[in-house]
Structure 1
Amino acid sequence: MDDKAPVNVFWTSGWDSTFRLLSLLLEHRLLVAPTYVVDPTRGSAGAERQAMARIREALFEQHPHTRELLLPVNEVPLAEIAPYPELTRAFRRLAVVHHLGDQYDWLARYCKQRGLDGVELSVERTFHGPHGVLHGRAIQVIDAHGLETFRVPPDYEDVDALALFGAFSMPLFDMTKEDTADVARRHGWLDLLGLTWFCHRPTRDGNPCGICNPCLYAIEQGFGWRVSERRRAMSAVYRRTLLPLRRIARSQMLKRRAKAEAEST
C-alpha cells in the first residue's frame, strides 16, 4: 500500500466526485490531487470553479486537517489535451449505442497524454453512460492505497471500452447516488455535498436549467429537489418532446462520423 503518494481524482465540484473527495480526505485521510478539465464552451465552468472554492473553504473550516491533504486543483485547459484519433473513434463508436458525454473522450486522451493509470473517475451505478458500457464487466480490485475500486480488466474483449476506460479507477461503480447520500448522512457530510454544482447550462440567475444531462440525471435519481419547481416542469415537457429527437440526431451524427472514419482508414 502507498499512503504517501496522492490519490489522483477527476473533480468537477459535482455530487459524485465531491463525495469521493470527502471519503478520501475524511474517512481514509489520504493525500488527494484533484484534476479539473476546463471546457471554455461549457456555461457551467464559472459555477463549477465557484463551487470548488466554496467546498474547499467549508471543508478547511470544519476539518482543518484537510488543509494538508487536499492539494491545489490542477486545472487543465481542454485545448491543451492532445488529439488521439484512435481514442476519439472508440468514443464515437460507443456513444452511438450508449449515452456518453464528450468528457470521456477528453479524459481518456488526457490520461494517455500524461501516461496516467488509475486516476479516479466517479462513475456511479446508473445503467447509462460508462456504467451502461461496463455493467457486469468491470471487476473489483484493490488499488495502490489498499482501497476497493473497479477497473476494466486488461484482457477485456471490447477493445473500444478498454481503450476509453482502461486507465480509470472507478471506486463508486457499485454505488447509487442514494447510497452516497446515505453514507454522507451517516458521516455528517451532507452540508458539504449541498455546496456542489451539477448543471452544465445554468440559467441567467445562476440556477440549474433542468434540461441538460446532469439535471435530467439528478431528477431521474430522486434529486429533483435541487432543481426549481418551474424548471422541473420544463424538464418533464422536454423529456417527452425534444429530448428523444435530440438523442436520435446525435446518434445519427455519430454513426455518420464513425462510417466516414472507417471508410477513410
Structure 2
Amino acid sequence: MSEVKKVLWTGGWDSTFRVLYLVVVEKCPVQTFYIIDPFRWSLVHEFKAMSNIKRTLKQKYPELSALLLPTLYFDKTDVGENLHLSVCYDGLKERLGGQYEWLSIWADQFGLSEIELVIERSDSVVGCRSVIANYLSEDEKGYRGIDAKFKGTPVYDLFHYFAFAITDIYKVDMRRIAAEHDFADILNLSWFCHRPTFFSKPCGTCNPCKNTYVKGLGDRLGPYGKCMYFLNYYSKPKNYFDKNSRTFSFLKSMKNSLARKIAS
C-alpha cells in the first residue's frame, strides 16, 4: 500500500480538491485532520459538507472510498500556548492570518509532521504562499516543505511541521482538473462561507465568499450571495478606484475618450 498522506481538511474547496485528487487519481490512502472551533459560525456546514463528500465518494467510487481514512478530530480549545511560536508569528502577522499561529502550536503540541496545508496559488504579497514561497524545497517523495537550511528562522519554526503540495494552481485549475478526472460533482459539495445565512446560503460578504468570487468561482455564491457581494463591494467608495475593478476601467476609458475629444 502507498504511504498514507496526511491532509488538514476543512471541508473547503482547496483541501477537498487535494483529498479527492489523492484518492481518485493517485489512489493513495489519506488521513485527514480537522480542528473543531466550537465558536466557528460555519462549523455545522463544514461537518455536513465533509459528511456529504464522504458519502458521495463511497457511492460513486466504492472501490476507492476505503482509502479515505476516518477523520481525526481535535478541539481547538485544547491547543495550549507556545511563547516561541507566538513570537515567530508576531514578526509575520502583518502578512499572515491568525490561524497559522495556533496551527503551528497544535502541530508541535501533538507531535505532528508532514501535514499538508493546501494553499492555492496567489499573486498577493500577503498570505501564507507569499511568506513561504522562497523557503520551499522538494524532497525525494515529491513533498514541498520548508528547507532545513532556514532552520532557526521564524518561517521555518512556524511551518516546518507542514507540507505544501499544490501551491502553484488556482481554484479554477482545480475545477478543471476535477472535471477531467470525474470528481467535480463531489468537489462542489465543499463549503467555504464563514457566515452562512439562516437558510444555509453563502453570505457573499465574508472573506472566503469574496475570495471565491474573485478567484473565478462566483457561481458558487448563488443569487443571494452574489447580490450581497456586489452590494457590499459597491457600498465602499474606495472600491470604485480599485485598479482591478470594472468601474475603474470604465471611468478610465471615459477619461481617455474625453481627453481625445478635447485634443481634437
TM norm. shorter chain > 0.5: yes
| Alignment of structure 1 residues 85-234 onto 2, 5 Å | 85-96=83-94, 98=95, 100-126=96-122, 127=124, 128-143=126-141, 148-156=142-150, 159-234=153-228
Compute the displacement of 1:29 (Å): 1.3
Output the amino acid matched with 2:68: L
Unaligned runs of 5+ in 1: 245-265
Output the amino acid matched with 2:187: L
Compute the displacement of 1:91 (Å): 2.1
Cα displacement string for residues 243-262 of structure 1 (whole angstroms, at most 9, x for unaligned residues): 98xxxxxxxxxxxxxxxxxx
Compute the displacement of 1:8 (Å): 1.2
Q: Distance in 1 between matches of 2:90 and 2:197?
A: 29
Q: Is the 8 A contact 2:85 2:101 kept in 1?
A: yes
| Alignment of structure 1 residues 15-34 onto 2, 5 Å | 15-34=13-32
Compute the displacement of 1:203 (Å): 1.0
SS of equivalent to 2:211: helix
RMSD over aligned CA atoms reads 2.1
SS of equivalent to 1:197: coil
Q: Distance in 2 between matches of 1:95 and 1:193?
A: 31
TM-score, with structure 1 as normaliser: 0.82
Cα displacement string for residues 5-48 of structure 1 (whole angstroms, at most 9, x for unaligned residues): 42111011111111111111111211111000011111010000
Compare 226-235 and 79-88 and name the one that shifted more.
226-235
Q: Is the 8 A contact 1:149 1:172 kept in 2?
A: no
Output the amino acid matched with 2:63: H
- The answer to whether 1:77 aligns with 2:75 is yes
Q: Distance in 2 between matches of 1:188 and 1:158?
A: 43
Cα displacement string for residues 45-89 of structure 1 (whole angstroms, at most 9, x for unaligned residues): 000000000000000011112332111111111011221122123
Q: Is the 8 A contact 1:25 1:69 kept in 2?
A: yes
SS of equivalent to 1:64: coil
Q: Which has the higher contact order (CA 8 A, sep 6+)?
A: 1
Q: Distance in 2 between matches of 1:174 and 1:158?
A: 26
Q: Distance in 2 between matches of 1:83 and 1:26?
A: 38
Q: Distance in 2 between matches of 1:122 and 1:45?
A: 19
Cα displacement string for residues 111-148 of structure 1 (whole angstroms, at most 9, x for unaligned residues): 111222211110111134111212343233333xxxx3
Q: Is the 8 A contact 2:151 2:157 kept in 1?
A: no
Compute the displacement of 1:157 (Å): 7.2
SS of equivalent to 1:42: coil
Structure with higher Rg: it is: 2
- The answer to whether 1:55 aligns with 2:53 is yes
Q: Distance in 2 between matches of 1:15 and 1:121?
A: 13
Unaligned runs of 5+ in 2: 239-264
Cα displacement string for residues 141-165 of structure 1 (whole angstroms, at most 9, x for unaligned residues): 333xxxx332111122782211221
